[in-house]
Amino acid sequence: MIFQDLGLIRFSDAWAYQEQRLRTLVETKLQNRTLQKEGKTTLAQQHYLLFCEHSPVFTLGKSGSTDNLLLSTGELEDKGFEFFKINRGGDITYHGPGQIVGYPIFDLECFFTDVHRYVRCLEEAVIRTLDEYGLESGRVKDYTGVWLQATDNKPLRKICAIGVHLSRGVTMHGFAFNVNTNLEHFRYIIPYGINDADKDVTSLAIELGYEVEMDEVKNKLKRHFAQVFDFEYDMGTSINEG
């Protein structure tokens, strides 16, 4: 497993980088099938776990509705947002500075082939990270992502969104974990297409009452991903590599 932190990057650039890595992994996978049939030694597959932050952008999944974007094209430009329709599952979400976006480029045949289990594992890595900060989080029936339970004065709150795409069993896109995210930007959309009064979005900073060091959270996430998916990182990779 190769880990790379891409830093602050435009969504379009990160999308192109993901697709490049996915194509390489798929090509190696197909070559290995031929080599196996011929009784030859197969090639090493390189899986990637990419972390980044994005410049302010709204992305709409293939099952989403543009009605959930509450800004016009002109308003998007005036406020400095980009907007993309993309090939992941799910509806509309926001990405921006202070949010850890994770893009696993995994050949699931090297782990397990159950896509639902894959999504649960993404959630589990975030749940374990939140537990280190003393926050009890979990899943909500019929919804993906990681949530904090409702309290007497707070509704059910989503802290991490998940939307994935697979090509020949290789994953791309992934999760968006609100750490120090500007939650006001979610007010320009109907987040995830969920317009329920008893559901909202939140961030780690809001829940803890202070801003959190991003690299600290990334390192915890990185460790929990390795535990949940049972892999080791290549020697020499670091939190800032890429």
Q: What are the mean pLDDT values of the chain's consecutive 10-residue runs (242 residues total)?
A: 96 97 95 92 94 98 95 96 96 98 97 96 98 97 95 94 96 98 98 95 98 98 97 64 44
Q: For residue 239, is it within any domain?
A: no
* Counted domains in the chain: 1
The predicted pLDDT at position 51 comes to: 98
Q: For residue 170, is it within any domain?
A: yes
Nearest CA among 31, 219, 194, 39 for reference residue 125: 219
Please provide the size of the chain in residues: 242
Indicate which CATH number applies to the domain containing 71. 3.30.930.10
Cα 56 from Cα 191, distance rounded (Å): 15
Residue 236 CA: distances (Å) to CA of 3, 4, 6, 225, 241:
10, 11, 16, 17, 9
Q: For residue 189, is it within any domain?
A: yes
Contact (CB, 8 A) for 204 and 130: yes
Q: For residue 237, is it within any domain?
A: no
Q: For residue 240, is it within any domain?
A: no
Q: For residue 241, is it within any domain?
A: no
The predicted pLDDT at position 200 comes to: 97
Q: For residue 242, is it within any domain?
A: no
**Helical (H) or strand (E) element with 36:** helix 11-37
